[in-house]
A and B are shown apart, each in its own frame.
Chain A
Amino acid sequence: MPHLAVNDIHANYGALAVLHGIGFEVDRGEVVSLVGPSGSGKSTVLRALVGLTLVTGGSVEVDGTRIDYAAPRAVKAARDRMAIVFQQYNLFQNMNVLRNVTLAPTKVKGRKRAEVEAEAMELLKLVGMEHKAQAYPDELSGGQQQRVAIARALALKPEILLLDEVTSALDPELVNEVLDAIRRLAGEGMTMLLVSHEMSFVREVSSKVVFMDAGRVVEAGPPDAIFDAPSSERARDFFGKVLR
């Protein structure tokens, strides 16, 4: 049974239909990547999974259990298991780094502050941000904020991590650090759904790549097959541009 199954989901922003039936599966401990041109709906898929954008058709299953996005309790349960890291980090501007990471574990999960803080420092170390624990987001670069956002998501101990273009704001030498962190997480059995434009990164870490365009899955498969021998015209065209 796949850890996460997305079956033919539809979503729209007001009158604008954005997802026209997206489907794929992610096995436990697997890293799956969504790639495709800007505006193809990749972020919307991740948002739909965590209940920020309403799923208007199709279904999402975690461990075989269908998530009823109309039921607040089910959405809460889904958010307990999935954590999202946003493209724009979305850190809490009025809290320092440490508090950003510890807020939800202490206030939502009701865990002890001292214990959560110790864990948070470990996570910040993992992303190389422990020296900025007392800094505020507006004192950090985009890459630094993104690393804090990853630590913040991990502090919730999710089973499935959703990452939306997390490396696009990172300095080149830091991409490897994050990549290592993600590899380590995968080794620990973390299931990950990744949106990225960094094709070499995607090829290296993913076991499956889903190519999307205009709210549809055009093709999906192992990275080598998708990148080196795409079967669709659309994918050939896209990879021809991004892979040089």
Chain B
Amino acid sequence: MDYNFQFNVVWRNFDALLEGAWLTLQLGVFAFTCGCLIGLVGAACLSFAPRPVRWLVHAFVIFITNTPALIQIYFLYFGLPEFGIRWSNEACVLIGLTLNAGAYLTMILRAGFLSVRQTEMEAGETMGMSLPQRIRYIVVPHIAKSIYPALANFFIVILVMGTSVGAVIGVDELTGQAINLSTVNYRWLEYFTIVALMYVVLTFIASIGLALLGRWAFRVKARIF
């Protein structure tokens, strides 16, 4: 191979990449957390709300999951200004990713609502627990425990695939930073090799964090690998 790797260039700008990675992590955690809340409300509606509300939730899920995240974020960034709504590129990615995650998580969490033991819900009901209380104390721990691996996987999907969409509208997350920097000195291969490794490290840290959280908060005996 003739290519002469020059990683020095990358190390000189490593701080910028670290900043990008930090932003990626923040975007991922925010979108996932808010997405979980949306998903929880959505899934609860699908189980307990009257029909018109269920239709609305279904429409939201179908609309979001059947269009590319890229298009949704383009719409927020380039489309909304036509209607006088102007958000920063970071806000657009954040909102787009959150809505996207919310739709997918509605369906993921729905599985949890459907598999909760009806008998436990009845016991809670006869003990005077309100529906929100039953969701909080019976359904949520059940979901956390029974579909924790699916949730953790989805977090990784958002962290790696979701956030990198930000690069196309100039958000300086990890992929964005790599593009910015390599455009300056054409060391694409070096930058993207290092960035790929950084994504691996990021997912690794996130996986361990999620496994520990699951074990500590929800008694999930998750294996890290």
Count of residues in B whose CB is under 8 Å from the partner chain? 19
Among A76, A88, A92, A136, max chain B CB count under 10 A is at A92
Chain B contacts with A in 124-171, Cβ cutoff 8 A:
124-129, 133, 137-138, 141-142, 145
Asked if A94 contacts B128 (CB within 8 A), the reply is: no
Q: Answer whether A90 and B125 are a contact pair too, CB < 8 Å, given A107-B133, A107-B137.
A: no
Binding-face segment, A78-86, A124-132, A210-218, A229-237: A78-86
Min CB distance B147 to A, Å, is 13
Asked if B125 contacts A52 (CB within 8 A), the reply is: yes
Asked if B126 contacts A92 (CB within 8 A), the reply is: no
B120 within 8 A of A: yes
Chain B contacts with A in 61-98, Cβ cutoff 8 A:
none
- Measured CA separation A28–B81 after assembly (Å): 71
B122 within 8 A of A: yes
Min CB distance A196 to B, Å, is 19
Task: Give the tally of cross-chain contacts (CB within 8 A).
Answer: 59
Q: Answer whether A80 and B128 are a contact pair too, CB < 8 Å, given A94-B145, A107-B133.
A: yes
Tell which of A86, A108, A136, A152 touches B128, judged by Cβ atoms closer than 8 Å: A108
Q: Can you pick out 22 interface pairs between chain A and chain B where the beta carbons lie within 8 Å of each other?
A: A50-B126, A51-B126, A52-B125, A76-B128, A79-B126, A79-B127, A88-B119, A90-B120, A91-B120, A92-B123, A92-B124, A93-B120, A94-B145, A94-B219, A95-B137, A104-B127, A107-B129, A107-B137, A108-B128, A108-B129, A109-B128, A136-B219
B221 within 8 A of A: no
B117 within 8 A of A: yes
Asked if A90 contacts B123 (CB within 8 A), the reply is: yes
Asked if B138 contacts A92 (CB within 8 A), the reply is: yes
- Measured CA separation A184–B11 after assembly (Å): 77
Contact string against B for A residues 198-240, beta-carbon threshold 8 Å, 1 for contact and 0 otherwise: 0000000000000000000000000000000000000000000
Q: Answer whether A92 and B137 are a contact pair too, CB < 8 Å, given A52-B122, A86-B119, A86-B123.
A: yes
Asked if B142 contacts A94 (CB within 8 A), the reply is: yes
A156 within 8 A of B: yes
Tell which of A51, A86, A88, A103 touches B137, judged by Cβ atoms closer than 8 Å: A103
| Chain B residues whose C-beta falls within 8 Å of the C-beta of A83 in the assembled complex | 126-127
| Chain A residues whose C-beta falls within 8 Å of the C-beta of B142 in the assembled complex | 93-94
New A-B contacts (16) at CB < 8 Å, excluding given A76-B128, A79-B126, A109-B128: A52-B122, A79-B127, A83-B126, A86-B123, A90-B119, A90-B122, A91-B120, A92-B137, A93-B117, A93-B120, A94-B138, A94-B141, A94-B145, A104-B128, A107-B137, A108-B127
Min CB distance B143 to A, Å, is 10
- Measured CA separation A10–B218 after assembly (Å): 42
| Interface, chain A (partner B; CB < 8 A) | 50-52, 76, 79-80, 83-84, 86, 88, 90-95, 103-104, 107-109, 136, 152, 156
Closest 6 CB pairs of A and B: A94-B141, A104-B127, A90-B123, A108-B128, A90-B119, A50-B126
| Chain B residues whose C-beta falls within 8 Å of the C-beta of A156 in the assembled complex | 127-128
- Measured CA separation A52–B123 after assembly (Å): 9
- Measured CA separation A76–B125 after assembly (Å): 9
| Chain A residues whose C-beta falls within 8 Å of the C-beta of B120 in the assembled complex | 90-93
- Measured CA separation A156–B126 after assembly (Å): 11
| Chain A residues whose C-beta falls within 8 Å of the C-beta of B117 in the assembled complex | 90, 93
Tell which of A50, A84, A95, A152 touches B141, judged by Cβ atoms closer than 8 Å: A95
- Measured CA separation A83–B95 after assembly (Å): 46
Asked if B133 contacts A108 (CB within 8 A), the reply is: yes
| Chain B residues whose C-beta falls within 8 Å of the C-beta of A152 in the assembled complex | 127
- Looking across the interface, which residue of chain A has its beta carbon closest to that of B129? A108
- Measured CA separation A51–B145 after assembly (Å): 30
